Amino acid sequence: MRRLIFLGAPGAGKGTQAKLLSEEMKLAHISTGEMLRSAVSEGSELGKKVGAIMESGQLVPDELIVELIAERIKQPDCENGYILDGFPRTVPQAEALGAMLGSVKPTVILFEVTMDDVEARLANRRSQEDRADDSDDVQRERLRVYQEQTAPLISYYDEQNMLTRVSGAGSIDEVFQKLLQALA
């Protein structure tokens, strides 16, 4: 059973690659961002709590996300393994996941991209999708939040020898081939 964590800046290609790999390897694709956006559009209790936070580019509270993931990875579609896309995003989230998994060590894939790439991709996404959290200012805030709260996970996992680096430069297919090689 494969348990993968996809890590990388907003716009690094995590979501696109997670979708492709989940189909290729028959893994559940767990995107916390997608789960939260569904909660917001359904108007659920969770959605009401997180809507404004997401629109501002901030992270939603760790407890909420950890609870969401704890329930999600118990679902039957995760039996063959799963890809966590967008979780963990803080060191406390990573610690909570570690506690959930016990001695099982997931593989952490870091998609490495330059800031120029990130900006070009985000501009492209802005022109193609209608995401309330993708305005210019909010994107900048999300990048800042990434640097401050999520980037520390790179050394957190590197120190535990759990990190595999994949270059996120190039076309979707080029990156996918590199990802498959890294996992082979």
Ranges within 144-183 binding ligand AMP (CB under 6 A): none
Out of 39, 142, 168, 178, the only residue in the binding site for ligand AMP (CB under 6 A) is 142
**Residue among 21, 27, 30, 60 that touches ligand AMP (CB under 6 A):** 60
The three state secondary structure string of the chain is CEEEEEECCCCCCHHHHHHHHHHHHCCEEEEHHHHHHHHHHHCCHHHHHHHHHHHHCCCCCHHHHHHHHHHHCCCHHHCCEEEEECCCCCHHHHHHHHHHHCCCCCEEEEEECCHHHHHHHHHHHHHHCCCHHHCHHHHHHHHHHHHHHHCHHHHHHHHCCCEEEEECCCCHHHHHHHHHHHHC
Residue 29, both tokens:
């694709």
Among residues 3, 37, 121, 142, the one annotated as catalytic is 142
Of 8, 51, 86, 168, the one binding ligand AMP (CB under 6 A) is: 86
14 is catalytic: yes
User: Among 37, 89, 121, 178, which one carries the catalytic annotation?
Assistant: 89
Which residue is catalytic, options 2, 49, 72, 125? Answer: 125
Q: Applying CB under 6 A, which part among 30-38, 96-104, 105-113, 154-162 lies near ligand AMP?
A: 30-38
To the query of whether residue 126 is one of the catalytic residues in this protein, the response is: no
Is residue 37 part of the annotated active site? The answer reads no
Active site residue 26: no
Mark whether 121 is an active-site residue: no
Give the binding site for ligand AMP (CB under 6 A): 10, 32-33, 36, 53-54, 57-60, 65, 86-89, 93, 133, 142
